[in-house]
Amino acid sequence: MEPTSNACVAVLDFLMSFLVISTCVVFFWRGTWGIFDAYLYPDNMELSAWICFTCGNFVLIFTGLLQTYISRINTFKNIVVHFILSRLHIYIISTGSVAQWRGIWNLQDHYTGTSWQSALTSTIIGSGVICCLRCTKSIMTSAPLLVAHDTDHVTLFRVTGRLGSEVGNSPRFMVDMVMTPLLVHTFVVVFWRGLWSLMNIYLYPEDDAQSGIYSLVAGLALAYPTVIGQHLILPFVKNPDNKHSMCRVLLLNLYLVMASCLPVAHWRGIWFLQDAWLIPENKVISAWMSHTIGFLGGVLVLSSKSIPVSGCFLDSSIGKDNQRLINLTYFKKLWDNVCNQESAKCQNGHEEKDIASRQNYENNNKAIEFTYITHL
């Protein structure tokens, strides 16, 4: 019975990630992007892109440097206050992520054009630099291949960096938080922009709806080999004999780059279908609806943390601590997080009771001693 239950949960996790969470994520990104297009210097793409690039990087760097102080939100005992502040934080970094990506993307379009040569060069350079930085996993870790949980308070405010530095005030940590958005995120966008643009050119460019459907079907078709493929690649990666093997690095990078085609195609399909079917005659209202539905939907399913792009995933961490390359776990992880929070509350409650009883005992002893002395 247990294998059957696990299989059912795995199927539900897959459907939740591919049909619900990823849809909410793309809705928010497409809506926020459209809002910037409508209100942020719509007649001057270059200036608009530079403003987005600057503001987006500032938000990501600022929240990364201050994550120690921001994480103190977890200490708030008022559930409503914690909920509002944590979701506000997610909304800010999500908007910053969209701004950063839009800035880099549009600057490339402005300075290099939108030809197939520009798209192909962007794809090759983006994937090549990310592979050299040994953080290829960063180009594929987005919905639907990554599910982040709002109930996981340990990682809710955490921002990882390329250097893997510990959170603090050290120069290494500060450099890490500045370098990761400016370097790693930039070339992740370069790769995505190149592959996305190639699909724009060759996948039914004259019909957005048809192009979106084929793109979505392509993403879903890649799902099975991508998810199953991790079970074939992980044993090879974990083998100690292959730890420093060049073959291990090349095979892992090849798998990660190929797996990255899935989220790009999946995102593009949902994005283009919105362009074609969600109030196409009024792009501003369509953008606001997409923006609102996306974020509220992410909040309602307790997975709004899946929306922003923050931090960096190192290839060196693959194969350690039995971690999967692709994490679609939703229902079991959600249950575990709730149980952990309840047990932590019970433990804190017992500790507070012990402290209170100890203080009462000490106060009573002091009172008896004082009474005895006064009677003397």
In which residue are the tokens 């999500």 written?
Answer: 94
Q: Which of 208, 204, 199 is CA-nearest to residue 272?
A: 208
Residue 201 has pLDDT above 60, yes or no: yes
The pTM of this model reads: 0.88
Q: Which residues contact 166 (CB under 8 A, 6 or more apart)?
A: 173
For residue range 240-263, list pLDDT tens digits in order. 776 667 888 899 999 999 999 999
The domain spans of the chain are 11-329, 338-376
- Mean pLDDT, residues 170-193: 96
- Per-residue pLDDT at 318: 81
- Mean pLDDT, residues 98-125: 97
Q: Is the distance from CB of 97 to CB of 63 less than 8 angstroms?
A: no
Lowest mean pLDDT among 146-150, 265-269, 337-341: 337-341
Q: Which of 134, 127, 139, 137 is CA-nearest to residue 249?
A: 134
- Across the chain, mean pLDDT equals 88
- Mean pLDDT, residues 120-144: 94
Q: Which two tokens stand for residue 326?
A: 């692709």
- Per-residue pLDDT at 244: 64
Alpha carbon distances (Å) from 98 to 92, 112, 246: 10, 21, 35
**Residue 316 DSSP code:** G
Q: Which two tokens stand for residue 229?
A: 């493929």
- Mean pLDDT, residues 171-175: 95
- Mean pLDDT, residues 43-56: 98
**Residue 146 DSSP code:** B
